[in-house]
């Protein structure tokens, strides 16, 4: 479905990008981005040599053990009675929130370690509270960023 892919996370960013679909295919966890993700001027596939957004895109995480609930940890922070409570979402719950309930997962910051990546995110909802902070921890040994075109009319603002 996609013409291009890259494994270079240093020249691709998910910052401020919202996943609108998540799915699992064997041992690959994928997030779809209806509005794309960012490709920097340093990426050799970027002929425009400035930070631009792609069209619809996808990011694939090859899971380390192949078990999504062992390789994906999702913490969602909920305010109740003046306190913040950390809830754990398994893959099925996260998928249901995004795919069936229309919530969007906005990626803010990424931290890469040895065979793992941590994302600070926001889970956006259509009712109050409209957003909830969350953290994703994915155990992965390969990440592929997929897209069809870079959009010169979509610069980073």
Per-residue model confidence (pLDDT) at position 66: 93
Residue 142 CA from chain centroid, whole number:
14
**Average pLDDT of the residues of the chain:** 96
Q: Are 141 and 52 in contact (CB under 8 A)?
A: no
Which pTM does this prediction carry? Answer: 0.95
SS3 letters across 99-138: HHCCCEEEEEEEEEECCEEEEEEEEECCCCCCEEEEEEEE
pLDDT in tens, 43-100: 999 999 999 999 999 999 999 999 999 999 999 999 999 999 999 999 999 999 999 9
Indicate the SS3 state at residue 7. Answer: coil
């Amino acid at each position: 479905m996609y013409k291009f892919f890259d494994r270079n996370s240093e020249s691709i960013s998910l910052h401020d990008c919202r996943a609108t679909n998540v799915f699992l295919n064997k041992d690959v966890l994928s997030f779809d981005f209806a509005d794309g993700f960012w490709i920097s001027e340093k990426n050799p596939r970027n002929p425009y040599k400035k930070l631009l957004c792609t069209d619809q895109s996808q990011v694939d995480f090859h899971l380390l053990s192949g078990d999504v609930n062992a390789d994906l940890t999702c913490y969602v922070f909920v305010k109740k009675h003046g306190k913040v409570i950390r809830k754990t979402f398994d893959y099925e719950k996260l998928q249901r929130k995004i795919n069936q309930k229309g919530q969007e997962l906005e990626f803010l910051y990424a931290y890469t370690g040895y065979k793992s990546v941590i994302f600070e995110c926001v889970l956006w909802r259509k009712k109050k509270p409209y957003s909830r902070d969350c953290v994703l921890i994915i155990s992965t040994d390969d990440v592929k960023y997929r897209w069809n075109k870079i959009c010169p009319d979509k610069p980073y603002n």
